[in-house]
Amino acid sequence: MALGPADPERMGNYRIRGRLGAGGMGVVYDALSDAGRRVALKVVHQQYADDPDFRARFRQEVEAARRVSGAFTAAVVDADPDGPRPWMATSYIPGATLQHRVAERGPLQGQELRSLAVGLAEALRDIHRAGVVHRDLKPSNVVLGDDGPRVIDFGISRAADRRTLTTTGRLMGTPPYMSPEQFVAPQEVGPHTDVFALAAVLVYAVSGKSPFEAENAYVTAYRVVHESPALGGLAPDLRRIVEQCLAKDHTRRPPVAELLERFRILPADGYGLAPGTPAPVTGRRRLRKAVWVATAAGTVLAAAAVGAVLASGPLSPRHPRTADTLGSHTPSSPASLLPKGWKAWDRRLPADHSGFVLSRGGQVQQHTCLTSAGRLYCGGNGIAVSRIDPGTGRTVWQRPQKEVVDALIGVSRQDTVVTVSGTSDGERLRGYGVEDGRQRWSADIGSAGQGGIFHSGTSDLLLGQSWDEQTFVAVDTRTGRTQWTRRVSRTLSCAPYVLDHRPYAVCDPGGTSAGGPNRTAIFALSAGTGRPTGIIDEPHALELMRAQGDRLVLLKSDDKTLDVTALLHVDIRTRKVREVPLALDNNQHCTGMTATVLYCVSPNGDVSAIDAATGRGLWRRATLLADLTEPLIPAGPDAPLYFAAPGGSVLSLERASGRVRWRTEPRGGFGGPPPELALIGDALYERYGYDRLVTLDVRHPPTAA
């Protein structure tokens, strides 16, 4: 395209000859160096160049792009991120973008589509090996060169080491190719995010449109998070791969290495549309629409417009909450984020008829109820293992138990609900299918504690202990078979923890009390073998609060009083520890944490927010509700906090200020285990008393007088 009057003639040592394209962040020019080398030179728009946050993101983009090299990526040859108008030059790749190719000549089929799939998977492999997540893979960022596809434009990529640069209230990306976690849980963006985008790009290559395409960016965002992709007509083998890559739960998507092999072994005639499917109509009219979507949606979206897309998680204390979706439902508008057929209900959960009500206590990842992929499951503490319809409260299925089920442990990527129960000989694990509740397997294990589910390649394993508190086992959640057994320590008593889908052992001398000797050793366990690697070993009582990438956050307690005195930020790779002193009241208990804020509660109902980086108090609020649970923290910087109290009261606080948004009256049933909370969209679920489960719409709660 010809240059306009506002286009520069030179940038650095490059003479600009014409435009190659433009987007929400900047303009890409065809340029020549003084030595005659042809490059694609990206220049940031002036309004963003004047934004310090954006300039920092662009500087990070340059750093990330320099680390990426491969046969299917465009190399960075020069850059000036600190100039009056920041720019970056990459090697020029002759060829049309995938977007232009499909618009001009129609969809790809056969060997051409196979080359695209394999090439993009190889490009992502190289990008991820460099520690980078692209985050904006789309048809206009794929150039079809003579020697294969090339991935270009690391416009909003970031290092996978979790160095985040965000702006409150803004989401960045191109909605038709963004993943659900980019909308509801940006902190969970990772290589799996690019896998989702790759699948969406392949659907575009076959059909001429995104699997979530809609009339505007906001409806598209809603479809990405909550609705099934439009994949009609794809050849069966290709469709199976694409469906897995587009899983709402990112833990269910195949890793790039596996995806690359599957693309390689799939024959060329397996790529494209199923036999008899009419070819989609494309052309310049669709190109103009696609350009509008990529440009308008690729700029900044207000987080408030999608902020109601809330994360779900287990109804249990101290469990890492992950993004969840509502599954299949059709609300009247994107503003209505409730499960299909939802109405307010309060019901008694089905009993297991054991005559016992247990509360194990002390274990971190066992629940009476939990949610996964928009489904709701309950069991344990006298409740039969059952699946509950989140909209109506009816029992979808339940399984009678001959023995007491202590708790649910989790749901694996293989769609298996895992439970643990006590027997005369120790503990027994069981796996049930999520759809029909049929028992898939049963496994007798030891009598020590059980942790959560973690990932080992494409397998999901349960972390538990054998007959003592020093030997750990990993059980395959698909088959119930033990994958490995590993002794972690010969002198310490250890407990199993799973955070951020990784296994850990937290060990101490056992039986330590205030005024006695304290010591805590934490080990990272190899997912494949269980081999322990020491992370920290200190003469203090430590509590594992949060895992985020290669960083652990721990609470440190006073050796004599066991009062919390500091936060420890630990780099898993280097073992470096940064200590942040905390000044807490003696009765405050810190129960929840985001990447930046620690939340603490007092028995009298006071809630405090503390800056995790500095230890500075942000706010403190008296709620008038005693014995609050830990906060349920939905994704999104502006989403509120939710707490529960004995008797069924629910409390919502503004995250930024601690202001009370609303508070519900007690429902009765003050006995039983502590209450538990979870969200599915705008539906909040509370298990309270011994066997009650209630739901309410967080937009219209029944507030207290």
CB–CB of 613/597 below 8 Å? no
Active site (annotated) includes residue 136: yes
Please report how many Cα atoms fall inside a 13 Å half-sphere around the Cα of residue 539, on the Cβ side: 5
CB–CB of 57/156 below 8 Å? yes
Six token digits for residue 245: 């890559």
CB–CB of 309/357 below 8 Å? no
441/120 Cα distance (integer angstroms): 38
CA 602 distance to own-chain centroid: 30
**Cα–Cα–Cα angle for 588, 589, 595, rounded to 5 degrees:** 115
CA 692 distance to own-chain centroid: 29
**H or E element in which residue 46 lies:** helix 46-49
Neighbours of 1 (CB within 10 A): 12
Six token digits for residue 162: 């979790």
Six token digits for residue 504: 């850990």
β partners of residue 651: 643, 663
295/23 Cα distance (integer angstroms): 5
Neighbours of 560 (CB within 10 A): 10
Cβ-based burial of 543 (10 A; exposed 0-12, middle 13-18, buried ≥19): middle
701/194 Cα distance (integer angstroms): 38
β partners of residue 143: 97, 150
322/453 Cα distance (integer angstroms): 13
- In the 3-class helix/strand/coil scheme, how is 560-614 assigned residue by residue? CCCCEEEEEEEECCCCCEEEEECCCCCCCEEEEECCCEEEEECCCCEEEEEECCC
474/450 Cα distance (integer angstroms): 10
306/297 Cα distance (integer angstroms): 13
465/469 Cα distance (integer angstroms): 6
621/154 Cα distance (integer angstroms): 43
Active-site position among 126, 136, 194, 415? 136
Among 104, 62, 108, which residue's Cα sits nearest to residue 82? 62
Residues 6+ apart with CB under 8 A from 82: 55, 59
Task: Name residue 279's amino acid.
Answer: A
242/705 Cα distance (integer angstroms): 51
Active-site residue list: 136
